[in-house]
């Protein structure tokens, strides 16, 4: 597992190399396609915000949030992790709403996400705590749903 994580971080660094060579990741300098789920060199989460102009067009900008991350700094999340965890780079802001969707929690609690994507897991773990839930409990609830579906399927056979 350590080798997988180390290999995973090598991929991250190759993506983020351009930004770290110029003094680290500054959210406001990231393109909107890399903003969501990135972490600045100061350890704060980047978030995508939208602004409506007077003519009605919507523009997007990457901003530094006040949310501090303990697990990583200078981090641009990989496509592998956004896909494995079922998150969307085009998401605006930070919200716990997706934790209510069983399809999302299934991906978040999958081994591909939970074991390999500490940044995304940390984000949703902290969002769940803010809602009064403990993240592993959410994953246990997901496992319970899977088991009950299997038991129902077996009863039918």
Residue with tokens 């081994």: 111
Distance (Å) of CA 138 to CA 43, 72, 143: 26, 23, 9
pTM exceeding the 0.85 threshold for the entire prediction: no
137-157 tens-digit pLDDT: 778 765 544 444 434 444 445
Neighbours of 91 (CB within 10 A): 15
d(CA 40, CA 51): 22
What is the average per-residue pLDDT within 120-148?
73
95-117 tens-digit pLDDT: 889 888 889 999 999 999 999 99
């Amino acid at each position: 597992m350590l080798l997988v994580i180390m290999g995973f971080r090598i991929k991250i660094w190759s993506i983020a190399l351009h930004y770290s060579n110029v003094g680290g990741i500054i959210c406001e300098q990231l393109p909107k396609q890399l903003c969501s789920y990135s972490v600045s060199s100061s350890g704060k989460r980047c978030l995508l915000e939208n602004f409506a102009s007077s003519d009605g067009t919507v523009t997007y900008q990457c901003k530094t949030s006040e949310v501090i991350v303990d697990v990583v700094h200078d981090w641009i999340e990989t496509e592998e992790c956004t896909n494995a965890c079922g998150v969307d780079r085009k998401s605006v802001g930070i919200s716990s709403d997706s934790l209510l969707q069983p399809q999302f929690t299934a991906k978040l609690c999958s081994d591909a996400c939970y074991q390999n994507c500490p940044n995304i897991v940390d984000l949703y773990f902290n969002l769940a705590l803010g809602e009064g839930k403990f993240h592993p409990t959410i994953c246990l609830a997901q496992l319970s749903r899977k088991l009950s579906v299997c038991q129902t399927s077996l009863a039918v056979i």
